[in-house]
Amino acid sequence: MNTTNHGEPDARLVDALSGADSSIRLRAALSAGTLGDPRLADILVARCAVEPDFFVRDMLTWALCRLPADITVPMLLAELGSDTTQARSQALHTLSKIGDPSAWPAVSTLLHDPEDEVALSAWRAAAVLVVPGAERELAVDLATALGRGDRHMQLGLSRALATLGAAAAPVLEAAMASPDPGVRAHAEATDQLCRDPDSGFTLSLEMATRVAVTGSDG
């Protein structure tokens, strides 16, 4: 890995990262990760905030994971305060992939971000980065979002809670007694996911919703 900090990064590579063709940007991000040049860190972080292509964003994250965490993590933590939704969301995603526990305090402040995309990324990151001993507190906090969003978002929250294992069990049990039928249904579907990770979440959620609303599974 090239870790020199002298001079400027390859200008052609920098230009390619913002090229008009997504395939060129993808190859540039791959090259950046292969080079492992820390001088590209701020450019990669900045690109994450505006890159429209999912696959390129994923490659940018991979490239950042190839760089020293003591360089990238502070930059990514700064992005969590951005006014740009994608900047916050992608920074959370990348922090979860780097896995540096020092990011936990900042990540935990975005669990209730008003933007669904950011909140979903925060749930995923929090489940990975939570410090030992804080799992139950995190589960309680995550459970307050039960019933939020569409099926995709609810599945993301359920998976985050499932990652917490035993710490989530009593929290879900309490949520299954909620007076809100949407919360009850989501909690029940999450509990099923925890017990059987291969179960069909959508079917479980639909069935639980029907029971919560009508009181019958018929």
Q: Write out the chain's pLDDT in tens, 218 residues.
A: 444 455 688 899 999 999 999 999 999 999 999 999 999 999 999 999 999 999 999 999 999 999 999 999 999 999 999 999 999 999 999 999 999 999 999 999 999 999 999 999 999 999 999 999 999 999 999 999 999 999 899 999 999 999 999 999 999 999 999 999 999 999 999 998 888 877 656 555 665 565 555 554 44
Q: Which domains does the chain have, with CATH numbers?
A: 1-129 (1.25.10.10), 135-218 (no CATH)
**DSSP H helical segments within the chain, as ranges?**
11-16, 22-35, 41-48, 54-65, 69-79, 85-98, 104-107, 116-129, 135-143, 151-163, 169-175, 181-195, 201-214
> Which residues have a Cβ under 8 Å from the Cβ of 182 and sit 6 or more positions away?
146, 147, 209, 212
pTM equals 0.86
Half-sphere exposure for 130 (CA within 13 Å, toward CB): 24
* Distance, CA of 86 to CA of 79 (rounded, Å): 10
Phi-psi region of 215 (alpha: psi -120 to 50; beta: other; left: phi over 0): left
Block residue for tokens 């395939």? 23
DSSP secondary structure letter of residue 20: S
Gyration radius of the chain's alpha carbons = 20
